[in-house]
């Protein structure tokens, strides 16, 4: 008989080893032609990890101990299946699945379709895999990738979200199959009732055996999605918890069947422009994760904001010493740091798995930070130091061009620079630019520069297709996100501007330099900051707004060379002439180039300038994560009422789009009125141009 089920008696979720044991016991009871073969699987030992404890006692004629010959066991299993039986094989350590490989590749999988008629081969080879136990190089490997893509062979992996009985049942009925069981899961309890701790929830999606979809309990939309096999699940959950403390929401997708992979049910969950990563304990190269990335690139190319980030363990044997093993195998901290870097949270240092023999101090990795909300890739322009140069903290290393600016990346650390990317390369956010200190490991120099496509000479061709230039691609990302994520409302107001235009003409004459209506509007918006500070800021998450202490006003500039939104800093404390100087500087850069990334970020509100002749008004969008955008059209002459008397006058239309999650209509109207007052009321106009 099987061991007493103390876990169930206490109302706890079963541990993975218990779930597997119960599943096998139930399947042996349900299926009289099912055999279980393996080394030391019989009682009293009950298998190296006790998965088969009690089963040989209950089913002594079908739970059979075997000699130490994995190839022999697999061959017997194939023969039993061909004779009409079902078989579960236990390989004591997945590392020895190499000895099973010939039978699986050339007998079990081939037999299904090489005899003309389809031959059922209900064989499941169970393989405990992975490290984390201190078992050393030959008892800790993740061998899943070696079995990928064999016709008729399905690959499954245990997860803490999937009960083992339907999983094993599916594997047997869709066999031949390999079932990989990450050893660190054996002692961990399954998640159940849709709960993954305090902050995360899960559900199963797709047809059996399906995917586990882990989301934030508060319903927050994901900042990134991580796909991983079951063995990584606890580490991925830990990474999600750590990222949550950094205001980053990570969703997880964990399939029970690795191959063939049914991505259809999860494509809608990945359809938004959210970064996607794949994490696996295997070493890189020809992996399941690479296969997943390739599939997602094929299916989601138009919406992925960046190539799928692939995370693996170090290119290394797995050391036996636990402290070295932790450095070598992909862990929660590696996932956390890689995702933070990919999302632009910080440039360095980034923890990454380190190979055995690599320097104990692996050096600091200099990665590409997120320099704006527009771009997911940047162009490496020029290295400012030589490969091998000694640098100090803050030494400028490299110039990187965004769609709208050139930014210097500085050394975060003193040491010897090893350049990893050549000038002219296009690099994604989070990509490694260089290492400082430590050893380079592979000794590789910078990669060769990829060919740089020639810029479009003079606008799009008539007919045919063309690719948006970098600046427009950046704008597309921002406006798409704004349109998709911000439930914006809109209000407008007409303002008579004769007086303020008169004042501005006098200021221009007095100072000898032009000051126009845009400067006055920016100043009036900034002046309203004191009373409407809650409209100046950004949305941190669905419930949190970070208010801006200063009236940093972004302005839209489209002078025919791309749309830019540089920020005039602290406008409320500065004179109109100062603001006019800033705007002229920005206009010159909008045509001639030369914006720095810092000039283009962290605006608290945006003013959309649309003062070209004939433009009456423009309905702005809200530049996520800001809360509001105010538009100003061109001044126009029309008949207005002065009291009850029709007189000629000059008016402009101000529009305000606002994030209705944060700002309500009455506040928006009051804010717009305050801005209008700043342009109309004599005392405020006088103050404006003082």
Partner 1 sequence: MNELVGLVAGVLELPPGAVDDDTGAATEAAWSSLRHVEIVVAVQRAYRVHLTPREARSCRSVGALREVLTEKGIAA
Q: Where are the beta strands (DSSP E) in 159-308?
A: 177-182, 195-196, 200-205, 211-216, 224-227, 250-255, 257-259, 276-283
Q: What is the largest CA-CA distance in the chain?
A: 108
Tokens of 146: 């070696």
Nearest-Å Rg of the Cα atoms of the chain is: 32
- Residue 682: enclosing H or E segment and its boundaries? helix 682-688
Number of residues in the chain = 690
8-state DSSP, 16: H
Render 573-590 in DSSP notation, one character per residue. GS-HHHHHHHHHHHHHHH
**What is the closest distance, in whole angstroms, from the C-beta atom of residue 458 to partner 1 in the complex?**
16
For partner 1, the closer of residues 390 and 514 by Cβ is 514
3-state secondary structure of 582: helix
For partner 1, the closer of residues 611 and 684 by Cβ is 611
Q: How far apart are the first and last CA of the chain?
A: 93
Q: Which residue has the tokens 């205001």?
A: 247
**What is the closest distance, in whole angstroms, from the C-beta atom of residue 557 to partner 1 in the complex?**
9
| 492 backbone dihedrals φ, ψ, rounded to 5° | -140, 160
3-state secondary structure of 99: helix
For partner 1, the closer of residues 584 and 670 by Cβ is 584
**What is the closest distance, in whole angstroms, from the C-beta atom of residue 339 to partner 1 in the complex?**
41
Helices 665-680 and 517-527, packing angle to 10 deg: 130
**What is the closest distance, in whole angstroms, from the C-beta atom of residue 342 to partner 1 in the complex?**
36
For partner 1, the closer of residues 497 and 580 by Cβ is 580
Q: What is the contact surface with partner 1 in residues (CB under 8 A)?
A: 512-516, 559-560, 580-585, 587-588, 590-592, 611-613
For partner 1, the closer of residues 81 and 583 by Cβ is 583
**What is the closest distance, in whole angstroms, from the C-beta atom of residue 345 to partner 1 in the complex?**
34
For partner 1, the closer of residues 444 and 612 by Cβ is 612
Upstream peptide bond of 237 is cis (omega within 30 degrees of 0): no
For partner 1, the closer of residues 274 and 507 by Cβ is 507
For partner 1, the closer of residues 320 and 584 by Cβ is 584
For partner 1, the closer of residues 373 and 611 by Cβ is 611
d(CA 202, CA 251): 10
**What is the closest distance, in whole angstroms, from the C-beta atom of residue 424 to partner 1 in the complex?**
24
Tokens of 647: 């007189």
**What is the closest distance, in whole angstroms, from the C-beta atom of residue 577 to partner 1 in the complex?**
8
- Residue 206: enclosing H or E segment and its boundaries? none
Alpha carbon distances (Å) from 470 to 4, 335, 483, 596, 598:
65, 30, 20, 16, 18
**What is the closest distance, in whole angstroms, from the C-beta atom of residue 499 to partner 1 in the complex?**
21
β 63-65/34-38 pair status:
parallel
**What is the closest distance, in whole angstroms, from the C-beta atom of residue 348 to partner 1 in the complex?**
34
d(CA 409, CA 246): 23
Alpha carbon distances (Å) from 7 to 12, 29, 197, 270, 277:
5, 21, 19, 37, 35
Tokens of 450: 């990829």
8-state DSSP, 441: S
Residues contacting residue 58 through CB under 8 Å, at least 6 positions apart: 1, 2, 25, 28, 29
For partner 1, the closer of residues 581 and 677 by Cβ is 581
**What is the closest distance, in whole angstroms, from the C-beta atom of residue 581 to partner 1 in the complex?**
4
For partner 1, the closer of residues 130 and 518 by Cβ is 518
**What is the closest distance, in whole angstroms, from the C-beta atom of residue 514 to partner 1 in the complex?**
5
8-state DSSP, 600: G
Tokens of 512: 């000898």
**What is the closest distance, in whole angstroms, from the C-beta atom of residue 587 to partner 1 in the complex?**
4
For partner 1, the closer of residues 515 and 528 by Cβ is 515
């Amino acid at each position: 008989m099987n061991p007493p089920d103390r876990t169930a008696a206490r109302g706890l979720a079963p541990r993975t080893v218990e779930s597997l044991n119960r599943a096998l016991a139930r399947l042996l009871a349900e299926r009289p032609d099912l055999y279980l073969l393996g080394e030391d699987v019989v009682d009293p030992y009950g298998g190296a990890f006790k998965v088969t404890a009690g089963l040989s006692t209950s089913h002594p004629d079908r739970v059979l101990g075997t000699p130490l010959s994995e190839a022999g066991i697999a061959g017997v299993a194939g023969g039993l299946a061909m004779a009409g039986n079902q078989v579960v094989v236990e390989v004591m350590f997945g590392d020895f699945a190499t000895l099973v490989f010939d039978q699986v590749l050339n007998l079990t999988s081939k037999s299904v379709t090489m005899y003309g008629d389809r031959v059922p081969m209900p064989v499941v080879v169970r393989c405990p895999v992975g490290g984390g136990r201190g078992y050393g190089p030959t008892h800790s490997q993740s061998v899943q990738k070696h079995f990928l893509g064999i016709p008729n062979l399905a690959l499954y992996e245990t997860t803490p979200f999937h009960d083992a009985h339907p999983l094993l049942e599916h594997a047997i009925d869709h066999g031949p199959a390999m079932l990989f069981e990450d050893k660190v899961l054996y002692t961990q309890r399954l998640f159940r009732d849709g709960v993954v701790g305090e902050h995360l929830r899960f559900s199963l999606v797709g047809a059996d055996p399906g995917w586990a979809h882990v989301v934030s309990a508060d319903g927050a939309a994901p900042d990134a999605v991580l796909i991983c096999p079951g063995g990584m699940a606890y580490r991925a959950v830990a990474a999600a918890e750590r990222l949550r403390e950094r205001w980053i929401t990570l969703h997880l997708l964990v399939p029970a069947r690795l191959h063939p992979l049914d991505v259809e049910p999860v494509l809608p969950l990945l359809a938004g422009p959210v970064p996607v990563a794949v994490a696996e304990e295997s070493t890189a190269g020809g992996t399941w994760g690479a296969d997943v990335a390739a599939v997602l690139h094929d299916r989601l190319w138009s919406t992925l904001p960046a190539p799928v980030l692939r995370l693996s363990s170090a290119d290394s044997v797995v050391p036996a010493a636990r402290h070295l093993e932790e450095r070598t195998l992909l862990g929660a901290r590696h996932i956390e740091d890689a995702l933070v870097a990919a999302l632009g949270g910080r440039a360095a240092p980034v923890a990454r798995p380190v190979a055995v023999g690599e320097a104990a101090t692996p050096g600091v990795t200099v990665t590409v930070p997120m320099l704006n909300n527009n771009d997911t890739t940047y162009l490496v322009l020029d290295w400012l130091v030589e490969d091998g140069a000694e640098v100090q903290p803050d030494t400028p290393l490299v110039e990187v061009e965004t769609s709208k600016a050139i930014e210097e990346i500085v050394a975060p650390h003193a040491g010897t620079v090893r350049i990893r990317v050549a000038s002219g390369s296009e690099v994604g956010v989070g990509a490694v630019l260089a290492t400082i200190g430590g050893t380079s490991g592979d000794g590789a120099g910078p990669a060769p520069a990829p060919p740089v496509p020639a810029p479009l000479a003079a606008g799009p061709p008539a007919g045919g297709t063309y690719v948006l230039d970098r600046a427009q691609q950046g704008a597309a990302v921002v406006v798409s996100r704004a349109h998709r994520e911000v439930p914006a409302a809109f209000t407008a107001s007409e303002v008579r501007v004769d007086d303020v235009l008169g004042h501005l003409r006098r200021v221009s004459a007095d100072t000898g330099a032009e000051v126009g209506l845009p400067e006055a509007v920016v100043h009036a918006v900034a002046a309203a900051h004191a009373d409407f500070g809650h409209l100046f800021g950004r949305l941190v998450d669905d419930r949190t707004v970070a208010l801006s202490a200063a009236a940093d006003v972004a302005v839209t500039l489209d002078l025919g060379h791309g749309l830019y939104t540089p920020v005039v800093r602290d406008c409320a404390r500065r004179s109109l002439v100062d603001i006019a100087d800033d705007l002229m500087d920005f206009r010159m850069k909008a045509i001639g180039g030369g914006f720095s990334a810092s000039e283009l970020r962290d605006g608290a509100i945006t003013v959309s300038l649309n003062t070209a002749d004939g433009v009456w008004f423009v309905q702005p969008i809200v530049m996520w994560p800001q809360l509001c955008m105010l538009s100003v059209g061109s001044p126009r002459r029309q008949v207005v009422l002065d009291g009850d008397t029709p007189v000629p006058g000059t008016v402009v239309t101000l529009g305000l789009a606002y994030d209705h999650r944060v700002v309500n209509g009455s506040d928006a109207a009051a804010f717009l009125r305050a801005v209008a007052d700043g342009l109309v009321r004599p005392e405020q106009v006088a103050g404006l141009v003082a």
